A and B are shown apart, each in its own frame.
Chain A
């Protein structure tokens, strides 16, 4: 009865507004829906199917002709997943991803917050700053990586030359096992800072200025206002930024491929990360099924981290703007 009631109510609503709405909206949505279907949903389904096969990625297959039969013939079940999890290389790549997140996330949050505050301050140059901070976001990763490769070059690079002037012998950066990952973090922050600063700026702009006026009348200092008003009211945006940047951090790829030695995944594998492994297995080592399973493992890991963050949301996010 309960079910019947619900079904009736929702069905009735659908028939009056929903169905007609869809009918009107569909022609407009179709082009992008078709795009999403062909280039996102279909590949996702295919990769799931491939992840249980031993397909090399070097022989021909057709979606329209016996694809499911192909999957059945090359079916290996969860062998790929088991082999990946049993390989110490996977845990090494994962630990490198986590190391990247640990370095990147806090630094990113602090620096993009500072950028947002600079732009938000009532000064004349705000628009100039806004452009300057955002420029790296618009730069392609390949171009950006090449610039950083040059900046960090141990002998010819300006960074080490500058360090030499003030009497510090700069590290080998990308050629050093210890410094390769921090170098990647540096370049990544340069690239992403502007983007997250813009999102934070949006959050700052939406805070009602009356709070600050009231605080000023009560004699609050700038630091107090930041800690008691800005941060709490910005917490939802900060949460969004940290979640987004963490997901991005797990998908770390182009900068690693361009900046560090490709064949060995950096000096002695120091920048071996998950997406880099997926790419190598899929397109270099002829193990497409294995690579597909690898990417699903990465998906599960990102889901898990996002879930944990989401659980933490209730504790520290304040939505009463």
Chain B
């Protein structure tokens, strides 16, 4: 009998010890102060942007002495895996960051709080960016930054090859011609880099007059003739004209590193490279609006702050989100760190953004906004992208023709992805 009692009491102790570990929710600090958890992937700790973010938080805490912010930055590669387990367990941070592509999935799963009424004055926000985080009429978040992709070019290589610098009138043809001249400068010098990824493909399709979905986003149109032509040309940069290095040519080197090493004439990449290139390019460089084929099309990337549906302090959380995303103070810090574009319309902020060089042609960033195409979005975003990229790989490796691959891709998307 005694042992039974021992067993029972031991079991009870263990249960009591383990139980708190399973109870969800954040612990409250001292009375009166609210502690908010903030998690994000953009702005790594060690760089200028991390510093800017800490500055923004310090300013927010100064203005709101009763709110404390606990920041955690997690690398992009691991961010969404850990976010998912936290959301499922009910332990998501009060405010967390989502990119545009993942926003729809989380909004549709009911993981986000409706912040429509908590945002206050949103007139300072850029409307396109703000509307991107409105799902079925409900505002679930605020854009904290947006950015696009431009054509970066190495002025030194253009000078050496006696070439005129790229202009906003350039098309794919001009890129190919210039690339060949740049490559004739020497071995291991490449003309152009623009990988055939999902993001480059949907934009490339648009630049050739095509699209991956119909306008209402109710059906896939992946195998349109314009798309097939676009993808053939893009794969040809690596396989036919060879103006672009293959993975094997790169031998593990990243595209940014290749550009910084001075061996790449032109690179299509995001304006978030400004800070790194300014600090690490030992040559002059500039930017231009990205060339299209039959028309121009540019990327729209946007990240947002959303409030977790499980947050105990949604009002304070929304206040933090709006401050970090849209306040003048935060936007100023963001601009000074060359950390993407603040999604705001304050003229003085925009002016100060434009006055920073390099690149000299910073206006191209804003000029590019005229040609924005938003990516195809589905609740099964990651799966959709993986399916499309698997077929792009088939085309690149020459295993399937562009037409056969995109026909098969269209079929698989129709079978597996619900729109």
Contacts and interface: CB of A to CB of B under 8 A. Distances in A.
A58 B87 contact: yes
Given A58-B84, A60-B310, A154-B251, A30 B386 contact: no
B399 interface: yes
A59 B84 contact: no
Contact of B88 (A58, A154, A284): A58
A263 B196 CA distance: 13
Given A263-B389, A286-B105, A59 B4 contact: no
A172 B110 CA distance: 45
**Candidate in B81, B90, B110, B251 with the most chain A CB atoms within 10 angstroms:** B251
A156 interface: yes
Interface string B109-146: 11100000000000000000000000000000000000
Nearest to A63: B22
Contact of B397 (A59, A155, A177, A263): A177
B3 to A, nearest CB: 5
A264 B106 CA distance: 24
Interface in B1-56: 3-4, 6-7, 10-11, 14, 18
A27 B380 contact: no
Nearest to A61: B88
B111 A60 contact: yes
Interface string A251-283: 000000000000110011100000000001101
A60 B110 CA distance: 9
A153 B390 contact: no
A62 B310 CA distance: 13
Interface residues of B, number: 38
Interface in A37-60: 38, 56-60
Nearest to A283: B81
A49 to B, nearest CB: 15
Q: Chain B: interface secondary structure? A: helix
Given A269-B393, A284-B80, A287-B383, A30 B88 contact: no
Nearest to A86: B415
Interface in A144-184: 153-156, 172, 175, 177
A143 interface: no
Interface residues of A, number: 34
A227 interface: no
Interface string B244-256: 0001100110000
Interface string B359-403: 000000000000000000001101100100110011001010000
A285 B80 CA distance: 11
A264 B81 CA distance: 17
Nearest to A172: B248
Interface in B276-324: 309-310
Given A58-B87, A58-B109, A153 B11 contact: no
Contacts of A122: none
A62 to B, nearest CB: 7
A125 interface: no
Nearest to B252: A153
Report the 10 A-B pairs with minimum CB-CB distance, sorted nearest first: A155-B251, A285-B383, A59-B109, A58-B109, A268-B393, A284-B382, A283-B81, A23-B3, A60-B90, A285-B382
14 contacts: A24-B3, A27-B6, A30-B10, A30-B11, A57-B88, A58-B111, A59-B110, A59-B111, A263-B389, A268-B399, A280-B386, A283-B80, A284-B383, A286-B109
Given A286-B379, A286-B382, 17 more contacts: A23-B4, A23-B7, A24-B3, A27-B6, A30-B10, A30-B14, A34-B18, A38-B18, A58-B106, A60-B89, A263-B389, A280-B386, A283-B81, A284-B80, A284-B386, A286-B109, A286-B383
